[in-house]
Structure 1
Amino acid sequence: MTSNENNKRDSLKPGSSKNSWGLLPSDALESLKVRYWHNRSKLKSLLNGGIKFPLEVPLKPPKGNAVLQNMNHFQKFVISWKAFSKDGCVSEGKGCVVRWERRTFRSLSEQEIPTHLCIHDIASLAGLLGSNEERQLSEWQSKIQYVFDSLSSVLNQNIDGSNKTIRDQELFLALITHLEALDNFSQSDLELLCKLIPQLQQGIGEGCYLRALPVTFVDTKFIEKNLRIIESIAAAHIDSAAKDIGLMTWLDCREKPKDWLLVKPLCEETKKLLGGMPLLRLSSDTLLEFELPANNVLVIENEQSCLALRNVPNTIAVSGGGKNVSWMKAEWLAGKNVGYWGDIDSEGFSILSDARSKLSSITPLMMDELTVQTFAARMVPEPDSVSKAPIALTDKELALFKSLRTDCYIDRRLEQERLPMEYVMKNIASWIV
């Protein structure tokens, strides 16, 4: 499309037609841009064949007496589409055409009017919409071709024709699915991608973290940042299981820890057994496998409450997990005296229930009616949170939960930090073995 054609098209501002009929060229192009190009889901469907060409845009030609009611708009409607065609914006050779029909209207002679704008392929659509869209499509095509050429020469050497066609189609679909990532790839990113894929094999991680994956030329931060597109390409060109079970599992790589827990030995003996460390950060996955060297394990909802504790014999505290008590299904906990201390509120009882569902022998500390009655004056409001009764509470715990929810006390929450330290230490001393 020439610069004069672009200028002419751009001079037709969107929204120039306010009628219910007679779509003008500027309106049709704006409709196409919004409906297809700016809608990523539909754009991907156009690119991968999910939405079939040709696209036909109804131009809403007039019916009945509509022409007589607005003759000026009718003339503009017909003239603008004739000009649009004559300026070279559409033609059979360009993959676009305006369909015309001869129709008769009352009080008018037979008229030839435009009825549809037909677009036969994605390149024609981009050409109609403008130079930015043409450039964008060209960049996508160039990047896709680079990936195809780079990977086919390495991975398709011993593949027969039919299987190669299937692999290439799956690769194309994978690239279109991750069009946003591809759009942001520089040439150096594409080179890294194509150097990486042939190195990937099932189990190559051997249980390590992703950053330790044994690959050359490619930095592992690139893999971490682009995990999803790498997964799809590996599934398309190496092994479909990479997507079926997930790339991390397929590679045999461990997920990066996200749920760090605070571990504090509460006496000198357990501190020495932890290498003299007064505080540690361990992930849930680590605690599933690593047995803490103490007979008593105290799980505490709030880190500040944990930090306030000291001089508790043969005890290690674990805190900061909040709702994350997944590690409490660890087999080694079955041989320990495990306690849970949280806020007396709906969230605290919900966490206690979840913890008990993983470890039935757990003992709740200071989460009873006596504690509430003793320190009721220190209670604070609780926003509506857990309304459904947790399933793994004892009868007494469930009764207290319901009493809190029905405003039987001054307020609905007694935070663990509001309990005096002498009360806390007395209850912990009664619990330890």
Structure 2
Amino acid sequence: MTDWTSAADLRRRVLRDWERGRLLSLSLTGEALYPWRIPLKGPTTALLADQFDAVRQWIHALAEGAKAEAGKSGSSAGYRLEFQEINHRQLGRNQVPVAAWLDTEGDALALIGKRREAARFHEIAGTISQAFPQLQTWLAKRPLRVLEQAEDWPGLLGVLRWIAKHPRPKVYLRQIDVPGVHSKFIERHRALLSELLDLVLPAAAIAAASASGAAGFERRYGFRAKPLAIRFRLLDAPFHGLTDLSVPCGEFARLSLPARRVFITENEINFLAFPRVPDSLVIFGAGYGFDPLAEASWLQAREIFYWGDIDSHGFAILDQLRSHFPHARSLLMDRATLLAHRPLWGREATPTQRALSRLQADEAGLYDDLRHDRIGPAVRLEQERIGFAWVQAALAGIDPENLRGFD
């Protein structure tokens, strides 16, 4: 068994460039590749005599895989061999292959069996560049992506044409009227369509600063999105007989509820079990961020308390909340609560290390101790592990007179 280059090695070498998209990319950019010389690893002069039969078999196997010379039978496509004459004192002059040459793109594609795929790519690329010349550079960068979606390009181009004709249409994606295209098609191709629309649309039609990625597709390109709902509970008196409500963000912003305090928690069980508190409501964070809450300007005039996990990310979320509501206070995110629940500590999977500028002095001290592992390795106390009596005591400490007797 030797490490000399075989015909299979040559195919793998060329296939590697195909799988990187290089062969198709160069066919579009016009960058010179052919004739393409691939050096061969073969026997040294010293091995010619010791392994002469093995060398002859190696040369024969390589020659069998090469394309036929003009006028001879065999394949007319593939590689040709470059030989070097070696003068051996015992064996005399011998021709040993030192390189394989692929003279044309057709030779390279024939070697790896990709002629049909390449023809399909060039057909699709021609259609795309004819419809949207500004995508030519993208085609050269993402040729395999083009082939992956080969059957879907008629629909994709239809969607691009529609959006280009109706920039920032303020309709739901369901209302795009392209033959053969349905809303699930667009949902499935959001990421790809985002790549293409960023190149096709004028800058004025893209809200680049406010949204990115597949999740922000609607806002980025001016479509109406399914409204986010804010879920909240009134903690002392029902609202028209209701205590647990979910309303669209825009409607929540217009409510201006008659509550003096607003509690925010990320845990649904804590949200549901939150004790009765007069003149207050609790909001279930549910991971949607604080941008929707920021639309409710009336919250600026309310006391806001945030209850999150005691770990690095919990303090990072608190810091984010204060970018919208600087007056927000933390609840049950203090050193005493953490130390009192030591047996219930967990381990934070990926702690954040970034600096947080909006924490108060005591919060910042605890955050630094957590992120630098001064209390223990990646310490975390999840909010749902805090004892209920401890929660009630903390709430009573906010307003002992008005909370006395509530449970």
TM-score in same-fold range (> 0.5): yes
Deviation string, structure 1 residues 340-360 (Cα, Å, up to 9, x no partner): 223444443333233234322
In the TM superposition, 1:267-306 aligns within 5 A as 267-268=236-237, 271-272=239-240, 276=242, 278-280=244-246, 282=248, 292-295=256-259, 296-306=261-271
Alignment pair present for 1:338 and 2:304: yes
- In structure 2, distance between residues paired with 1:67 and 1:241: 70
Shift of 1:234: 4.9
Deviations 1:53-91 (A, max 9, x none): 332211234443231232112212332333334657999
1:160: which partner in 2?
none
The answer as to whether partners of 1:334 and 1:359 remain within 8 angstroms in 2 is yes
Structure-1 residue corresponding to 2:221: 251
Question: Once the two structures are superposed, what CA deviation does each residue of 1:84-120 show, in whole Å capped at 9, x if it has no partner?
Answer: 3465799996474322333323323322332221113
**Counterpart-to-counterpart distance in 1, 2:197 and 2:290:** 34
Confirm or deny that 1:112 pairs with 2:112: no
Alignment-derived partner of residue 346 in structure 2? 382
Cα distance in 2 for partners of 1:267, 1:383 equals 36
In structure 2, the CA distance between the partners of 1:424 and 1:197, relative to structure 1 (3 Å rule), is: same
Q: 1:292 to 1:42 in 2, by over 3 A?
A: farther
Cα pair distance change 1:297/1:28, threshold 3 Å:
same
- Partner of residue 181, structure 2: 218
> TM-score of the superposition, structure 2-length normalised?
0.74
* Contact map agreement 1:232 1:243 (CA 8 A) in 2: no
Q: Which moved more, 1:59-68 or 1:318-327?
A: 318-327
Cα deviation code 1:363-392 (max 9, x no counterpart): 22343456567xx25751231435667433
1:355 aligns with 2:321: yes
Name the structure 2 match of 1:8.
none
Does structure 1 residue 57 correspond to structure 2 residue 76?
no
- Compute the displacement of 1:260 (Å): 6.1
Question: Is the CA contact 2:66–2:79 (under 8 Å) kept in the aligned structure 1?
Answer: no
Moved more, 75-84 or 65-74: 75-84
Tell me how far 1:238 sits from its aligned partner: 6.2
* RMSD of aligned residue pairs (Cα, Å): 4.2
**Is residue 71 from structure 1 mapped to residue 34 from structure 2 by the alignment?**
no
Tell me, yes or no, if structure 1 residue 263 matches structure 2 residue 226: no
- Give 3-state SS (helix, strand or coil) of 2:88's partner: coil
Aligned-partner residue type, residue 102 of structure 1: E
CA deviation after TM superposition for structure 1 residue 412, in Å: 6.2
Are positions 1:42 and 2:6 aligned together?
no
In the alignment, what sits opposite 1:28? 10
Partner Cα separation in structure 1 for residue 330 and residue 233 of structure 2:
19
How far the C-alpha of 1:300 sits from its partner, in A, is: 1.5
Q: Counterpart in 2 of 1:134?
A: 115
Q: TM-score, normalised by structure 1?
A: 0.70
Could you tell which deviates more after superposition, 318-327 or 58-67?
318-327
Structure 1 unaligned blocks of 5 or more = 1-17, 156-166
Change (3 A) 1:430 1:261: farther
For residue 82 of structure 2, give the secondary structure of its aligned residue in structure 1.
Answer: strand
Pairwise CA distance, 1:298: 1.4
Q: What letter matches 1:225 in structure 2?
A: R
Mapping of 1:190-229 within 5 angstroms? 190-201=153-164, 204-213=167-176, 215=178, 218-229=181-192
**Cα distance in structure 2, aligned partners of 1:137 and 1:123:** 10
Amino acid at match of 2:103: H
Amino acid at match of 1:129: I
Q: Secondary structure at the match of 2:347?
A: coil
2 CA distance for matches of 1:279 and 1:30? Answer: 61
Instruction: From the superposition, tell whether residues 26 and 360 of structure 1 become closer, same or farther in structure 2 (CA, over 3 Å).
Output: closer
1:298–1:243 Cα change, 3 Å: closer
Paired position in structure 2 for 1:80:
61
Deviating more after overlay: 43-52 vs 236-245: 236-245
CA shift for structure 1 position 220: 2.9
Distance in 2 between residues matched to 1:240 and 1:360, nearest whole Å: 33
Shift in Å, 1:127: 0.9
Provide the C-alpha distance between the structure 2 equivalents of 1:96 and 1:90, rounded to a whole number of angstroms: 15
Q: Is the 8 A contact 1:206 1:252 kept in 2?
A: yes
8 A Cα contact 2:218 2:224, kept in partner? yes
Pairs aligned (count):
383
Aligned to 1:397: 363
Could you tell me how far apart the structure 2 residues matched to 1:125 and 1:99 are? Answer: 16
Distance 1:186 1:413, change over 3 A: closer
Out of 372, 383, 387, the position equivalent to 1:415 is 383
Q: Deviations over 1:252-271 (max 9, x none)?
A: 225667x86532233445x3
Q: What amino acid maps onto 1:324 in structure 2?
A: G
Q: What 5-or-longer segments of structure 2 have no aligned partner? A: none
Counterpart of 1:319 (choices 281, 284, 297) is 284
User: 2:219, 2:154 → 1: CA distance?
Assistant: 25
